[in-house]
């Protein structure tokens, strides 16, 4: 369960991050780090804080010598925008739910229902939007997002090829 939370944190870094209740636009201090809190449970955190979280997870899977466990899942932002902005009811969307799932090929194999750990050929994230009433808002009435890109083996180039976030202005280019 601990690893599932860490993976969720890694996946959601680009979309939404973990809990905070400090009030709108007030500085929030935790563990020596300060960031702007909002009145929502998602928050922006400093890169060095995110890297502490990433280091913990990546160390737990021995990432330097392991190319089969997931380091990240990549979501196509064009598909995410289409889901959020280009459909009836998009103005009602208040949250995105990230759900761990087995890939369709794994789920249709003889291993269906068997724990796959964090294998990059077996795990994905299903993404579904929901409204303030807690009801799903489905794309074209019956669709949600899937097909995250597993890294490894399909990782980006540039500084995004690193499993960590850049910590200096020079690394951000």
pLDDT at 9: 42
pLDDT of res. 21: 31
pLDDT at 4 (0 to 100): 45
Give the residue from 57, 72, 27, 23 showing the smallest Cα distance to 45. Answer: 27
pLDDT of residue 35: 45
Q: In whole angstroms, what is the distance from residue 85 CA to residue 90 CA?
A: 5
pLDDT of residue 169: 63
SS3 78: helix
Bridge partners for 20 per DSSP: none
Exposure on the CB side of residue 109, measured as CA atoms within 13 A: 11
Q: State the pLDDT at residue 144.
A: 94
Task: State residue 171's pLDDT score.
Answer: 55
Output DSSP code: residue 21.
-
Query: Which residues in the chain land under pLDDT 70?
Result: 1-40, 169-173
Nearest residue to 44 via CA among 12, 71, 74, 70: 12
Residue 98's alpha-carbon distances to 106, 115, 116, in angstroms, are 19, 19, 18
Distance separating the N- and C-terminal Cα atoms of the chain: 36
């Amino acid at each position: 369960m601990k690893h599932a939370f860490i993976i969720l944190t890694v996946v959601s870094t680009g979309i939404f991050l973990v809990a905070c209740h400090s009030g709108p636009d007030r500085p929030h201090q935790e563990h020596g780090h300060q960031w702007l809190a909002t009145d929502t449970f998602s928050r922006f955190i400093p890169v060095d804080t995110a890297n502490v979280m990433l280091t913990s997870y990546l160390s737990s899977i021995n990432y330097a010598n392991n190319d089969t466990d997931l380091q990240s899942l990549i979501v196509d932002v064009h598909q995410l925008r289409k889901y959020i902005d280009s459909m009836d009811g998009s103005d009602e969307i208040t949250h995105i739910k990230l759900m761990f799932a087995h890939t369709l090929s794994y789920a249709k194999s003889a291993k269906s229902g068997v724990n796959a750990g964090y294998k990059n050929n077996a795990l994905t994230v299903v993404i579904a939007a929901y409204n303030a009433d807690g009801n799903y808002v489905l794309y074209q009435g019956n669709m949600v997002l899937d097909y995250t890109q597993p890294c490894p083996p399909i990782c980006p180039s540039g500084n995004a090829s690193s499993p960590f976030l850049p910590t200096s202005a020079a690394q951000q280019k």
